[in-house]
Amino acid sequence: MSCSIQNRTKWKIFFSIIVAWAFSISCVTKSRSDSSSENLIYERNKEITSVLESPYPVIPLRQSNVSDAEKIQTILIKDPQLADLYVHKFSGGKMLNEIFSISEARPSDLPQGVNVKSKENYYRLEMYNYALNLSIIAIVSKREQKVIHLTTYKETQPDVPPHLVELANYIARHDTSVIHAYGENYEDVQPLMPGTKTALNRTKCQRSKHLCVAPTFVKNDKALWAIVDLTDLKVAGIRWTQVGETGMAVTQRTAQNSKVMDCYCDIYNSYEKDGWNFKYTMTRSDGLQIFDIAYQGNKIFNQVKLVDWHVSYSKTDGFGYSDAIGCPEFSTAAVLAVEPPYFEAIIENNDTTGFLVGQQYYSEGWPTPCNYNYHQYYEFYKDGRFRPVAGSIGRGCGNNGMYRPVTRISIAGEHNSIQEYKDQKWIPWKQEQWTLQTEQKKFDRDNGWFKILNKNGKGLVLVANTGQLRDGGRGDHAYVYATKHHAKVDEGDTDLPTIGPCCNLDYQQGPEKFINNESIEDTEVVLWYVAQVQNDDTKGKEYCWAESVLKDGVFKPLIYPCYTGPMFKPVL
Amino acid sequence: MKERFIRFGILFFSLFSNHLVAQLDQCKGVPIYMTKMGFNPEQSYISTSERNVMGLVIMQSDQPGNPRAKIIKSAQAPSWKKWGYLGAITTDEHGNSYILPAAKVNMLYNKVEYQNTIYKLDAMSGELQQFISLPMEIKPGAKNPFGLLGSFYDCSNHLLIVSTVAGSDEKKERGKVYIVDPIKKTYKVIFENKDFYGLAVHVHEGKKFLFLSSARSGDLYSVEVDQMNQPIGNLKKEFSINGIGLRGDDRIRKIRFTGTGQMILNTVLFYYNLTAPSEEQVGRFTYQWNKEKKTWELLKVE
């Protein structure tokens, strides 16, 4: 499948139109539920809230063919063995549970030593713990009014009961991404086998480790899988398959990966708004790359991208990681784009001042220790300001981590020169070099640090980030490098592998490899920007950090991002 | 000489009887370097998958075979970290180990031109050196940093079998399987344009088979081979692990057989990208051969 709108040749344009028509809806950037979907979800949330107020946070099975089902469930729910599944040992928060089924126990269900002849006395109950993604199989004796056997299964989910099937169907049918993907006559179509548990349907939510089911909608010879996350009550991914197709399982991971791979990896998309226009693509190791960036018709940047993340944990041991970010498959990225890029308005003082395009990258398991989440976005302001932003959302391997994102900014124009504000005047940089943003550094008004100007004196001012920008950043302490851009020698125009080690504490973060005393006066220049931010897990001061907290009965990340990046202001 | 006779006997017995036997790589010799380095060979093993350690490391455990056992000591010779991250290990009857390169957290320490190079850990000296570089039409790069993935040393004929995915991308499989003669240092392609990961030679009901797992899906294949591991039959899909297990999208990294007719598959999450440091997403599937139905039946997923 292709979602390309790249148009290098005429036939490609034609092909793109056809393909875009066929698949554009499956490349819609964001999925949101419409307001009419609120009823069942609202009822479900109300039920969860109510249950979590009880000392036994368990949603019982309402409909059952078993007589005395309520009484039997109560025996299980009140069993003291389940206490650890109700209240989290460390935080004291309540964890959500639900009974999925109750049935007369079969002889094979009964533990050894139980009198099989009296099996009508025994009931098998299946319960699911949403917070721990854990199944509980219990055998309850009605006569003795006690649980006689209890087994727990980690990362296992029982078959879902009919009311959750209905809820999943409802969520899928009201999700805009599903509606857009299916297209016409969507309202008349009923999902196929919505009750099939995703595991049975060869489908799983591997990344979130949530309970997921997959209502599947057939259209002609194709089937649209809507992977519904019943823990978060939302659609986790959609994917078309051919009816009867065998092969890779349709899961959260495959659905997410295929969308990013098909619609963004090496696919050139264009965007135009507020006087800006640019192209963007997901790279194999340099994150979301934007290129051919113009403001009011004037090209400002050739290309901007996030080359590396260097994370070091100790000033002495050299322990840490050097990670690249990018496509989730067939890439040299270690922290992956699993969701598509998104666009968002920039609102300052209740006024929309511009927009941003953003991208997040996850390593699986985040926010548990030694897993990473990076956030990258580019801000485009109506007044011509531009800002490449790189942020870490923890959590990493320790509370003494130094994050160093490496951003490459290729400035448009063949006759540029660079000046640095130093000792209260603007000093030209004649040759390739680097400098550091120290605490003592004095900037021009409004934190002006560098000017990148063409022959006519027009261009950009690089504004230092000392924590004055809108994202709560505490300042960048950045290294800035300037190198000559070579049209015929690739010094980073194409995908760069990891260019620097994790743990260099000085300017040797990778861009210095391209510094060899070449003149950077009246020529094409590339700026490299390496911010340095120290993480912190001190209560109340968390920075570049994330934790898992219990909210509404399930674990959710609580994030403390640290954002970095300079601002570019136009010199007109 | 005696050792060779025994091995021939095993193969003869396997090929001309209807009994199942364990696979043909169970002849690992004891390397002398372990003793030289002060390690007890009976309690020691080499590993390329220790967290926070690049390259090869030797470990001595108080309970060999138990991955959770206490490590008494460990060491790393200088040549063991020279080649960057390393992957699959297979050992011959003399104690020489053949070690493949890997692509892990980043490619800073692995040169892409060596991703199709087999390294040899010399049983005597303990030096890790480049042994054979297999050709690559397209070098590993941003779209696929991997080269060699799987290896198997066949004790019955002293041949090494390796799989590589060098040059493959999401649109085209360019993988190959080679038979390598470590004595003559020659190699020969037996499969091409197919990405395989794990490999194992197994004598099954009197015939010799090469089992191969797909690097792109959970499929497991087999092909009948002659005594020199040259395919003499068609590639046959045995089964798939797609949709099974904790994640449902693992690839089979390692194939091993037991003497009781069980096949053990070690699996891993693999999408041709690098992995973050903590992502140890692995699994283990156990299958049993059903003689009557003549199929492999899933016994256990761990």
Tens of each residue's pLDDT in chain A, 572 residues: 435 333 333 433 333 333 333 333 355 444 434 444 458 999 999 999 999 999 999 999 988 888 899 999 999 999 999 999 999 988 899 999 999 999 998 888 888 777 666 656 899 999 999 999 999 999 999 888 999 999 999 888 898 998 998 899 899 888 998 888 888 776 666 666 544 433 235 468 888 889 998 888 888 788 888 899 999 999 998 888 877 666 667 889 988 999 999 999 989 999 999 999 999 999 999 999 999 999 999 999 999 999 999 999 876 667 888 989 999 999 999 999 999 999 999 999 999 999 999 999 998 888 888 889 999 999 999 999 999 999 999 888 888 899 999 999 999 999 999 999 999 999 999 999 999 999 999 999 999 999 999 999 999 999 999 999 999 999 999 999 999 999 888 999 999 988 999 999 999 999 999 999 999 999 999 999 999 999 999 999 999 999 999 999 999 999 999 999 999 999 97
Q: Which residues of B188-212 are buried (b: 16+ CB within 10 A; e: fewer)?
A: eebbeebbbbbbbbbbbeeebbbbb
**How far is residue B143 CA from its own chain's centroid?**
23
C-alpha distances out from residue A144 to A72, A75, A105, A121, A141, Å: 11, 10, 15, 9, 5
Contacts of B35-39 spanning 24+ positions with Cβ under 8 A: B36/B126, B37/B75, B37/B77, B37/B126, B38/B75, B39/B73, B39/B75
Beta-carbon contacts of A534 under 8 Å, excluding residues fewer than 6 positions away, are A400, A401, A402, A403, A543, A544
Calculate how close chain A gets to B70, using CA atoms only, in Å. Answer: 23
Burial class (CB in 10 A: 0-12, 13-18, 19+), B91: buried
Measure CB to CB from residue A322 to each of B108, B143, B272 and give the nearest one.
Answer: B108
Measure CB to CB from residue A329 to each of B170, B242, B246 and give the nearest one.
Answer: B170
Beta-carbon contacts of B208 under 8 Å, excluding residues fewer than 6 positions away, are B14, B15, B201, B202, B224, B225, B226, B227, B229
Domain ranges of chain B: 2-249
Measure CB to CB from residue B274 to each of A204, A261, A332 and give the nearest one.
Answer: A332
Residue type, A202: R
Q: What are phi and psi of A4, to 5 degrees?
A: -65, 140
Q: How far apart are CA A266 and CA B143, in angstroms?
A: 10
Calculate how close chain B gets to A63, using CA atoms only, in Å. Answer: 30
Q: How far apart are the first and last CA of chain A?
A: 44
| Contact check, Cβ <8 Å, A497/B217 | no
Which residue of chain B has the CA closest to A254? Answer: B249
DSSP B123-148: TTT--EEEEEEPP-SS--BTTB---E
DSSP 8-state symbol, A464: P
Facing residues of A274 across strands?
Answer: none
pLDDT at position B278 is: 64
Calculate how close chain A gets to B273, using CA atoms only, in Å. Answer: 5
Q: Closest Cα to residue A345, out of A249, A167, A470, A457?
A: A470
Residue type, A109: D
Q: How far apart are CA B174 and CA B136, in angstroms?
A: 10
| Contact check, Cβ <8 Å, A331/B272 | yes
Question: How is domain A269-571 classified at the CATH fold level?
Answer: Beta-galactosidase; Chain A, domain 5 (2.70.98)
Please give the interface size between A and B, counted as residue pairs whose CB atoms are below 8 Å apart.
118
Which residue of chain B has the CA closest to A311? Answer: B277
Torsion of CA B77, B78, B80, B81, to 10 degrees: 130
Q: In what order do the strands lie in the sheet with B128-133?
A: B86-91, B97-101, B117-121, B128-133
Containing A49, the helix (H) or strand (E) segment is helix A38-52
pLDDT at position A20 is: 37
Residue type, B114: Y
**Whether the Cβ atoms of residue B236 and residue B223 lie closer than 8 Å to each other:** yes
Of residues B13 and A380, the one with the higher pLDDT is A380
Query: What is the value of ipTM here, to two decimals?
Result: 0.90
Torsion of CA B126, B166, B112, A390, to 10 degrees: -120
* Pairing mode, strands A335-336 and A325-326: parallel
Q: How far apart are CA A393 and CA A370, in angstroms?
A: 12
Residue B248: list chain A partners with CB under 8 A: 199, 202-204, 206, 249, 251
Q: Return the ∠ at Cα A155 (arms to A154 and A159), rounded to 5°.
A: 105
Which residue of chain B has the CA closest to A324? Answer: B106
Q: Closest Cα to residue B276, out of A396, A127, A457, A121?
A: A396
pLDDT at position A295 is: 97
Residue type, B128: L
Q: What are phi and psi of A121, to 5 degrees?
A: -80, -20
pLDDT at position A554 is: 95
Calculate how close chain A gets to B292, using CA atoms only, in Å. Answer: 25
CA torsion sign, A43 to A44 to A45 to A46?
positive
Assign B10 a pLDDT band (cuts: 50, 70, 90): very low
Beta strands in A105-251 (DSSP E): 122-129, 134-141, 146-154, 212-213, 216-219, 222-229, 234-242
Measure CB to CB from residue B108 to each of A328, A494, A498 and give the nearest one.
Answer: A498
**Whether the Cβ atoms of residue B48 and residue B99 lie closer than 8 Å to each other:** yes
Residue B271: list chain A partners with CB under 8 A: 257, 328-330
Measure CB to CB from residue B106 to each of A249, A369, A498 and give the nearest one.
Answer: A498
Residues B136-160, mean pLDDT to the nearest whole number: 94
| Contact check, Cβ <8 Å, A204/B142 | no
pLDDT at position B131 is: 97
DSSP 8-state symbol, A180: H
Containing A220, the helix (H) or strand (E) segment is none
C-alpha distances out from residue B68 to A393, B55, B61, B63, B143, Å: 32, 21, 9, 9, 36
**Range of weakest confidence among A105-114, A195-204, B142-151, B177-186:** A195-204
Domain ranges of chain A: 10-30+161-263, 39-154, 269-571
Task: Look up residue A145 and give its two tokens.
Answer: 């009014």
Q: Is the CATH number of domain A39-154 3.10.450?
A: yes
| Contact check, Cβ <8 Å, B279/A321 | no
Measure CB to CB from residue B108 to each of A203, A494, A501 and give the nearest one.
Answer: A501
Beta-carbon contacts of B157 under 8 Å, excluding residues fewer than 6 positions away, are B227, B228, B229
Q: How far apart are CA A35 and CA A498, in angstroms?
A: 45
Residue type, A486: H
**Whether the Cβ atoms of residue B61 and residue B45 lie closer than 8 Å to each other:** yes
pLDDT at position B261 is: 82
Residue B142: list chain A partners with CB under 8 A: 283-285, 331-332, 494-495, 497
Question: How is domain B2-249 classified at the CATH fold level?
Answer: Neuraminidase (2.120.10)
**Whether the Cβ atoms of residue A549 and residue A395 lie closer than 8 Å to each other:** no
Q: Closest Cα to residue A397, out of B70, B51, B281?
A: B51
Which residue of chain A has the CA closest to B239? Answer: A247
Calculate how close chain B gets to A137, using CA atoms only, in Å. Answer: 18
| Contact check, Cβ <8 Å, A363/B107 | no
Mutate to test the interface with A, among B81, B113, B143, B219 (most CBs of A within 10 A): B143
| Contact check, Cβ <8 Å, B144/A322 | no
**Whether the Cβ atoms of residue B226 and residue B232 lie closer than 8 Å to each other:** yes
